[in-house]
Structure 1
Amino acid sequence: MNERWVDVPLLGGDTLRVEPVNGHTFRIRRRADSRFPEAALNKYDIVRKEWPPVRFECEENGETVTVQTGFALVTVSKRDGRIVFRDERGQVLLRETERPASPSGTGFAAEFELTGDEKLYGLGDESRHLLQKRGHRAKMWVKNVDCYSPIPFLYSNKGWGLFLNTTWRHFFDLGHQKPDRWKLFAKRGELDYYLIAGSDYGQLLDRYTDITGKPQLLPLWAYGLTFVCNQQANAREMLDDAMSFRREGIPCDLIGLEPGWMEKHYDYSVDKKWHPERFYVPGWARTGPQTFVGALERLGFKLSLWLCSDYDVTYQAEKLAGQEARAGGSDGASDDYNADDFEQDMRAHAPVYMDGLTKRDEPWFRHLTAFVDQGVKAFKMDGARQVNEHPDRKWGNGMDDEELHNAYPVLLNKQMHDGFREHTGLRPMVYSSGGYAGIQQYAATWAGDTGGGPKPLISMLNHGMAGHANASCDMDVFTPEGIHFGFLQPWSQVNSWAYWRHPWLLGDNLLPMFKTYAKLRYRLLPYIYSAAHVAARTAMPIIRAMPLAYPDDPQSDGLTQQYMLGDYLLVAAFTNDVHLPEGVWIDYWSGERFVGPADIKANIPDDRGGPLFIKAGAIIPEWPEMDYVGQKPLDTIGLHFYPHGKSEFALYEDDGTTCQYVDGRLALTSISSENSGNEIRIRIGVREGRYEGMPERRSYEISIHADGEPSEVTVNGERLQPNEQWQYTDGTITLKVDEDAAGARPLDIRCIIAK
């Protein structure tokens, strides 16, 4: 027994390795010999390699070996390698039913038992028609439109999760062929997976992302609105678009350019240049306020560039892994002298490479630093050709496409993310259509070239169910439903591309609606950004599928057109039929209250695009209206309370652009509400922590949505005067309160509602 793992020799000569990586998670590998080379995702630092030591015990009897941590245990049959996974109480979580197969060079397979009421979730963006996956058969292979981002992480309502640590093309049969069995298999590769024990879905997601990385926190402005110009736009037209947003009073932070910005359309090389006519940049003044990028910045915009890539990023991945590329070879002529070659014809000595695009000693991101230095703040990674198959390609690290294809989007986006962060010291905004396990660490995603309807919604929900928080899609601006859904996502994007999706061209009905939703989103940014902070710490996504938010509601699995946005907002899209889970719910548009569980047909106002409900007990912070993030100081923010029982909210704030929040440079404000009888008690805690640019003193504009007019309102025991210090209008109590000068005392608000 090794201090980090246990190798179990099996009857047929194979070796099964059990490695507890923490108290709840075990890595299981099987080989025909006892050598276990590191898997690609671990080697390239996508999957975590280093873990603190774990205390475990190993018990062996005649038939089995059991490895136990105190929180979970794995029992292995020495005869055939089958495993049984149990929790700390000894309850079976997962049982293997057939001898696992992993003969060298011929793929792998493992089959497990499904219990009668078991449910299965996960697998990422491989399916756009269901959330609960039992009965489904999944092909895990990155493919344009059909399967942009498969994630080989599966979990169950029985308290287990399984992450399959492979990049090879593989499959999950989840009770499709045999209703009481589920199976994973591949024609190539070796059996390597992590077993995770957890008491609920949130805990399983948190522990899975301990392995593959937590979702990144985007720059604060990235949670505003992104607008991508028509691909034929030039610098003047791009600036006209920016000015139109400001003239119309529509908040927006990021302007994107499609491939028309390049001198060569769809330039895959590392020799890109601005289009000399559309985006002329004087050679003597490439940077500074006089450029079109500088003009955008003065208007409060950031600039994003569209990219395509067919570059071999494995050379840089190998370099970063501290290993020479397995492809070997020399970049120049041979230094060996051959006496018979008296002519020394160098054309016959130099190696010839099929890949004429990649510069083996130049990392992909290096050529982009020139654009970043000019002020570019974001990059859109198109599907071309990160999601294309390369059937006859041998990659620089020695892999063929069967092994690398799934990993390519993650490697590419990792190098984009790391390159930008290292070059600038700022958080990257890289957004990609393709992905695989670990993509949540490096890039936001959008649902590719599939529009902004119900299927992209399911895609985003499945992303969240697999640990990826920053998912979006192209907003359908031509329907009220598309606008409604498009603004109530983790991040929002309007992509004109080859079309004219400019908001000011939407007409008299849709333009006011677009403005309303854009302003609503910007008011909700502190709520959304706090949810993004929670995701970055725990992997609980910003938008939450109903099975994740309400796992005990028997209808949750079928609710593919509604979701929770953070803890307190329920959004339905492309339907008026809404299922309200247990609790009290308030229609955001009308204020009408409903008691769940209930199935209702929501009444949607003519100037809105879909249902939006508030969970009673909600605490929702709001910003003042602004055209872009950072336009106005945030020394005063709003807090909306919907008292019901006990509730709380954690408001996270930081500088919005750097990575200092990772080192604790942030402020956390704990806010709570309690409603008992005719008394409402609210506490706004002191801001704990600091960050650069933090307001020295904070004021709060309080709105308490109450059942009646108060007879008394006090703040820290001091009774306030009605009409002067607080007001009551149409069911809402409003008042403004200030932190004390030292910011060291909580604010306690008490309201007595007149009977």
Structure 2
Amino acid sequence: MYLLREITAVRPYEGGVECAVRAVRCLELPGTPGYLTGEPPDGQGIETTMPNLPELPVPPLDPRGFVLRVAFGSEDAVRITLAPEGARVLDEEPGWLGIVLDGGQGYGPAPRVRTADVASDGGGRGTPETVLQTGRLRVRVARRPFALAVEDTATGRTLLRTGERLRQVAGFPMAPPVLAAEAGSDGEAGTVLNLELGPDERITGFGEQFGPLVKNGQRLRLRVEDALGTGTGMAYKPVPVWHSTSGYLGFLNTGAVVTADVGHRRPDVLGLTVHDEALDLWVIGAPDPKDRLSRYTGLTGRAAVPPLWSLGYWMGRCRYHSAAEMNDVGDTMRKHEVPCDVLHLDPDWLVVDRLNCDFIWNTERFGDRAEFVAGLRERGLRLSLWELPYLDPASPRHAEARARGYLVRDADGEPAQVAGTPTPDGRPRALLDFTNPEAAAWWQDLHTDFLADGVAVFKTDFGEGLPDGTVPADGTPAHHAHNLYPLRYNGAVSAAIAARTGRNALVWGRSGWAGSQRYPGQWGGDAESTVAGMRSTVRGGLSYALSAPGFWSHDIGGFFGPELTPELYVRWTQLGALSPLMRAHGLRPREPWAFGDRALEIARRWVRLRYALLPYLWQTAHESAAHGWPLMRPLGLEFPGDPVAATVDDAFLLGPDLLVVPVFDDGPGPVRRRFWVPEGGWTDLLTGERHTGPGYAERTVALEDMPVLVRDGCWLPRLDVDAAVRSTDDLPDRPWRLELYGTGDGTGDGVRERAGRELTGFDGTPTRVRVEGDTVYAEGSQPFAAHAVRQGARR
């Protein structure tokens, strides 16, 4: 293992500087915390006067050269790359792994960077430094001993600093700034970045993690896995992106496994271990986390607004076994007057359907595909089809793909075998190699006839099963390939849908990595049908929102586990109705009539409420596409100055103005629910009850109810939904109704009313809306009801 010790040379580099770094061999002390090199003890800061200092083995210096590059992409974003001399990353463009888009130019105009060498910063470091500064950020690179710090010049805050100050009693460093491990027997190197955590600093993010939203005290292994649920400690969509309450977003541009130790081993250390020889860290500094997400998604891509129908109600089951069964579900949905837009069909549409997708339609079960899709469309329904990127040797497509060289190969040149998911019969499934352009095009072409027949969307399931040690066709290093596989898989299918339909693409993906937000949507995997499963699902969505913001959802009712109670089904349906996307799905029936008359009545009311709120969701979807913000938002995203809001992971905001408070319970009786209300005035959407924050509120919530609070100042567009609404096809000609919250009381809100608002209509064009008195004036294609409705005026 090597410890980076000193900067030996500094030279100009585009947008910043490049430094030569000398590293020396070190060892981790046996039986006690700390690291030791072969340098003189006093030069390492060791307390040589300690009376019980033991005799210690001294490693040879064996110096090694590294390269550090510090380059600004904009006033508030800096890229810090550190690698051994000659490492591949030093010769590659930022987008070489397919995560960063447009060559890394998504930050905006290149800033003017000032560079200076100083003897000391006057703050006690007492060491020569190279200081780089833009209008917003300052980076300090200490020469010897090597250290890094990033500061916000506007606020005067230190955003991050390496952990050189953290030592044990004998002076041995416990968190050296950077440690580099040589490749072991598995050929995998490792680079450790140790950052000192501030006394009140909280860390969030790291993708779809199902534990508490604030990651302090946790140790996370960021490796894409078939997590087999939401309570196993694994993740379908880990993302090496995090936020710090000190005011920055960190992004590791890598496909390698990352271990994030957030004060778990050392209470004051954020330790980031990248299982790669290089560290490619991007730091975006801004006090507002929404600004940070805009910068980050400008770099890695944003989701386009999916079709309106995708925001409707989806119904699925594992599995529907025939066309007759699905048509009956559609007919019963219409009989019970429950709006629905999509029916999902899991693998029974295939002839060979066990962990295989070869696009060979099962006519015995589902008849002619075009006729089947047309029959659903007559019922106002669209078809979603399951797929995965694996091929069974029992399928004729396997032999075709193997002969053409389209399968991922192992180090021996043989087709690699799916790992991590048990196969039902022991046959080794192969994986399509999406790094081979011809293979990706072949896979995309297999979708063509399905899309031509009217299939609306594909559920891109799995993608977590690429084994280690493969040899991708494009030369992607093996240790990057596993985590990048789902990004490439979902990207290929999204591109196929967009190219063959001419509309914004939508998939329903389970696995993901950094950049996956640009391929909407995703869902939270196989949650257990328990209160704990529902609770962890919400946490996963909130954590994912901070790292891959966009369109995320979950299986209403959970996918597996104990028989779902009608009451938990109702509570989960309420949550789903106020989620970015809404789909019920599981191993057993999830149709609302399967849970009794009371559950059906309540579920129907909440599904209708969702359709009534689609004008608001439509605005939020366009806001997300424009700015890179999630639809489902942790409270801290909208209220970053509220220390309590930053920790809340049992409630969320849908868009900027709806506070959703799920009820985690599976019993029939009323539930006492305590929840945090952020600053300002809020009105319950259903009861009209008023709340003022910041502070806790408490309510007794009947099974029929769930707290949904609307923020003062909100112009809430909605429409009336009755029994005649079967799907979103019935909505475009219906006038929107405008509800104004917390206005009309002489507090100055009337000025904003006269200024008006611009809303995006269902046809995608803007309509300018203003209110005078109670009259609505709309200029544009979207029809509005003539009178505004005022709600929750301040008292």
What is aligned with 1:391?
468
Q: Distance in 2 between matches of 1:152 and 1:358?
A: 25
What is aligned with 2:718?
622
Do residues 6 (structure 1) and 8 (structure 2) align? no
Decide whether the 8 Å contact of 1:636 with 1:700 is kept in 2.
no
Q: Distance in 2 between matches of 1:399 and 1:501?
A: 42
What is aligned with 1:302?
382
Q: 1:78 aligns with which of 143, 147, 163?
A: 143
Q: Distance in 1 between matches of 2:330 and 2:112?
A: 58
Do residues 442 (structure 1) and 519 (structure 2) align? yes
Compared CA separation, residues 551 and 255, structure 1 to 2 (3 A): same
Q: Distance in 1 between matches of 2:777 and 2:617?
A: 20
Mean CA deviation greater in 251-260 or 388-397: 388-397
SS in 2 for 1:101: strand
Do residues 530 (structure 1) and 541 (structure 2) align? no
Q: 1:19 aligns with which of 51, 61, 71?
A: 71
Q: Distance in 1 between matches of 2:244 and 2:274?
A: 22
Q: Aligned letter for 1:301?
A: L
What is aligned with 2:546?
465
What is aligned with 2:740?
641
Do residues 613 (structure 1) and 702 (structure 2) align? no
Decide whether the 8 Å contact of 1:526 with 1:651 is kept in 2.
no
What is aligned with 2:122?
none
Q: Distance in 2 between matches of 1:682 and 1:22?
A: 46
Compared CA separation, residues 257 and 88, structure 1 to 2 (3 A): same
Report the CA distance between 1:223 and its aligned residue. 1.0
Do residues 376 (structure 1) and 455 (structure 2) align? yes
Decide whether the 8 Å contact of 1:503 with 1:514 is kept in 2.
yes
What is aligned with 1:716?
none
Q: Distance in 1 between matches of 2:731 and 2:160?
A: 54
What is aligned with 2:38?
none
Compared CA separation, residues 199 and 369, structure 1 to 2 (3 A): same
Report the CA distance between 1:519 and its aligned residue. 0.4
SS in 2 for 1:636: coil
Decide whether the 8 Å contact of 2:305 with 2:625 is kept in 1.
yes
SS in 2 for 1:167: coil
Report the CA distance between 1:594 and its aligned residue. 2.9
Decide whether the 8 Å contact of 2:83 with 2:277 is kept in 1.
no
Compared CA separation, residues 5 and 554, structure 1 to 2 (3 A): closer
Mean CA deviation greater in 645-654 or 508-517: 645-654
Q: Distance in 2 between matches of 1:706 and 1:468?
A: 31
Report the CA distance between 1:706 and its aligned residue. 6.1
What is aligned with 1:278?
365
Q: Distance in 1 between matches of 2:329 and 2:536?
A: 30
Do residues 474 (structure 1) and 555 (structure 2) align? yes
Decide whether the 8 Å contact of 2:683 with 2:791 is kept in 1.
no
What is aligned with 1:43?
96
What is aligned with 1:241?
329
Decide whether the 8 Å contact of 2:207 with 2:239 is kept in 1.
yes
Q: Distance in 2 between matches of 1:93 and 1:632?
A: 48
What is aligned with 2:439?
362
What is aligned with 1:631?
730
Decide whether the 8 Å contact of 1:107 with 1:185 is kept in 2.
yes
Mean CA deviation greater in 439-448 or 556-565: 556-565
What is aligned with 1:138?
220
Q: Aligned letter for 1:462?
A: S
What is aligned with 1:114?
197
Unaligned runs of 5+ in 2: 1-11, 24-64, 120-127, 164-175, 184-188, 228-233, 393-401, 406-411, 417-429, 558-563, 665-672
SS in 2 for 1:537: helix
Q: Distance in 1 between matches of 2:299 and 2:534?
A: 32
Q: Aligned letter for 1:132?
A: V
What is aligned with 1:316?
none
Compared CA separation, residues 352 and 68, structure 1 to 2 (3 A): closer
Report the CA distance between 1:701 and its aligned residue. 4.3
CA deviations over 1:363-406 (Å, ceiling 9, x no partner): 222211111111111011222xx123513533333456532111
Mean CA deviation greater in 614-623 or 56-65: 56-65
Decide whether the 8 Å contact of 1:637 with 1:700 is kept in 2.
no
Do residues 95 (structure 1) and 177 (structure 2) align? no
Report the CA distance between 1:224 and its aligned residue. 0.9
Task: State the TM-score, normalized to the length of structure 2.
Answer: 0.75
Mean CA deviation greater in 415-424 or 53-62: 53-62
| Identity over aligned pairs, percent | 26
Q: 2:536 aligns with which of 449, 455, 460?
A: 455
SS in 2 for 1:42: coil
Q: 2:279 aligns with which of 191, 196, 204?
A: 191
Decide whether the 8 Å contact of 1:530 with 1:651 is kept in 2.
no
Q: Distance in 1 between matches of 2:689 and 2:762?
A: 38
Decide whether the 8 Å contact of 1:81 with 1:99 is kept in 2.
yes
SS in 1 for 2:321: coil
Decide whether the 8 Å contact of 1:118 with 1:158 is kept in 2.
yes
**When the two structures are aligned, how many residues end up with a matched partner?**
641
What is aligned with 1:412?
489
Q: Distance in 2 between matches of 1:501 and 1:521?
A: 18
SS in 1 for 2:225: coil
What is aligned with 1:705?
791
Q: Distance in 1 between matches of 2:221 and 2:618?
A: 34
Report the CA distance between 1:44 and its aligned residue. 4.6
SS in 2 for 1:376: coil
Decide whether the 8 Å contact of 2:775 with 2:787 is kept in 1.
no
Q: 1:28 aligns with which of 49, 66, 80?
A: 80
What is aligned with 1:720?
none
Compared CA separation, residues 94 and 112, structure 1 to 2 (3 A): same
CA deviations over 1:179-216 (Å, ceiling 9, x no partner): 22211113434111101110221112222212222233
How well do the aligned residues superpose, as a CA RMSD in angstroms? Answer: 2.9
Report the CA distance between 1:5 and its aligned residue. 4.3
Decide whether the 8 Å contact of 1:620 with 1:640 is kept in 2.
yes
Compared CA separation, residues 504 and 91, structure 1 to 2 (3 A): closer
Task: State the TM-score, normalized to the length of structure 1.
Answer: 0.79
What is aligned with 1:495?
585
Decide whether the 8 Å contact of 1:140 with 1:171 is kept in 2.
yes
SS in 2 for 1:238: helix
Mean CA deviation greater in 56-65 or 179-188: 56-65
Decide whether the 8 Å contact of 1:553 with 1:581 is kept in 2.
yes
Q: Distance in 2 between matches of 1:357 and 1:542?
A: 33
Decide whether the 8 Å contact of 1:579 with 1:599 is kept in 2.
yes
Do residues 582 (structure 1) and 679 (structure 2) align? yes
Compared CA separation, residues 196 and 237, structure 1 to 2 (3 A): same
Q: 2:116 aligns with which of 59, 63, 67?
A: 59
Compared CA separation, residues 588 and 603, structure 1 to 2 (3 A): farther
Q: Distance in 2 between matches of 1:173 and 1:597?
A: 32
Compared CA separation, residues 632 and 565, structure 1 to 2 (3 A): closer
CA deviations over 1:653-706 (Å, ceiling 9, x no partner): 2566xxxxxxxx63154667xxxxxxx967967547xxxxx45x6544421236
Q: 2:593 aligns with which of 480, 504, 519?
A: 504
